Amino acid sequence: MITVGIIANPAAGKDIRRLVAHGRVVSNQEKANTLRRVFAGLVASGVERILVMPDMSGLARPAAEDNKGRIKVEYLDMAPAESQHDSTRAARAMADQGVKCIITLGGDGTNRVVAKGCRESPIVPISTGTNNVFPQMVEGTLAGLAAGAVATGAAPLDKVSRRSKTIEIFVDGKATDIALVDAAVTYQAFVGARAVWQAENLAELFLTRAEPASIGLSSVGSRLRPVEIDEPHGLYIRLSGEPGHNATTVRAPVAPGVISDIEIKEWSLLKPGDRYEVTVCPGTVALDGEREVELLPRHKAEIALSMNGPRVVDVALTHALLAATSAAAVAARGR
């Protein structure tokens, strides 16, 4: 049975950056409406089953009601999601059940925890979070059609997807976590409210990509050396901590509505496999904009770039391929 997974994060787009910056608020009603459009695209594509991560808000319920009798909708056998770890568990369960694609609603943080569990299941990420470098600003109907095309084989995965990179975090030699876009070493000793938006707290940045039209910490790197999702390297940046004549200054949008002048001491390409030891202690490592790892004196922390991230479906490329295939068929019939 051709199956697509849905992981929609009800908490995405609602963190402290609505207070300290100007992040947009994405309501649960808007997420539910987006899912109604996603379901319509999946049904039209010939997908036979949708597997949904349950959540306390019931985001997928209206879409399921719309499509009763048209497609099989099932919920994972797990408690409704209340933490980011549930998204990882859900992605792992979907991969175990052989979903052909996973559609996510969230930001960089949501997709980070999904990537930890999705294995080889490709992701179609829809942006509903704060920093949205990894997920695409895409209309739900188009995302559903693209995911359906990949799931049914109408769009070959190797032609419409790209393998993303990750930043891997090692503590005492053991892989403990990942980032999809950026890992930031900060001078803040505790996880606290998690979100990072103050440039003066940053010591080092490790980036998988640095695209000029992005927001968040990866935008700093784009002012030095733009890096695309599928280039075989990332960027390492060491901040100076204080202004000085040896520093390079770049101006970048580090959070929604927050544009900062960043003093950079040095930067270089980040090559796969090279491990950088973290010397800041105490401190924290923020993964895709949120502090997750506390740096303690008794532990050795290292950071490295990996080329083995999740596959990401390019929605625009998928529709271009579908359109070209349809046009060729029409032309053949007209001969």
Q: H-helix or E-strand containing 124?
A: strand 123-127
CATH 3.40.50.10330 in the chain is located at: 3-164+310-334
Does the pLDDT of residue 33 top 50, yes or no? yes
CATH 2.60.200 in the chain is located at: 166-306
Q: How many helices (H) and strands (E) does the chain have?
A: 9, 18
Q: What is the reported pLDDT for 18?
A: 47
pTM: 0.91
pLDDT band at 9 (very low <50, low <70, confident <90, very high): confident
Domain 3-164+310-334, architecture per CATH:
3-Layer(aba) Sandwich (3.40)
C-alpha distances in Å from residue 309, one per residue of 66, 116, 233, 268, 302:
35, 9, 13, 21, 18
Contacts of 143 (CB under 8 A, 6+ apart): 38, 41, 103, 124, 126, 136, 315
Q: How many other C-beta atoms are found inside a 10 Å radius of the C-beta of residue 132?
A: 25
Average pLDDT, the chain: 90
pLDDT digits over 117-168, tens only?
A: 999 999 999 998 655 789 888 999 999 999 999 999 999 999 999 999 999 9
Q: Count Cα atoms within 13 angstroms, Cβ side, for 207.
A: 31
pLDDT digits over 184-227, tens only?
A: 999 988 776 667 767 788 999 999 999 998 888 999 999 999 99
Domain 166-306, architecture per CATH:
Sandwich (2.60)
Q: Count Cα atoms within 13 angstroms, Cβ side, for 276.
A: 25
Does the pLDDT of residue 34 top 80, yes or no? yes
Beta strands at 182-186 and 283-287: parallel, antiparallel or unpaired:
antiparallel
pLDDT band at 169 (very low <50, low <70, confident <90, very high): very high
Q: What is the reported pLDDT for 227?
A: 96
Diameter of the chain measured on Cα atoms: 74
Rounded-to-integer distance, Cα 208 and Cα 227, Å: 8
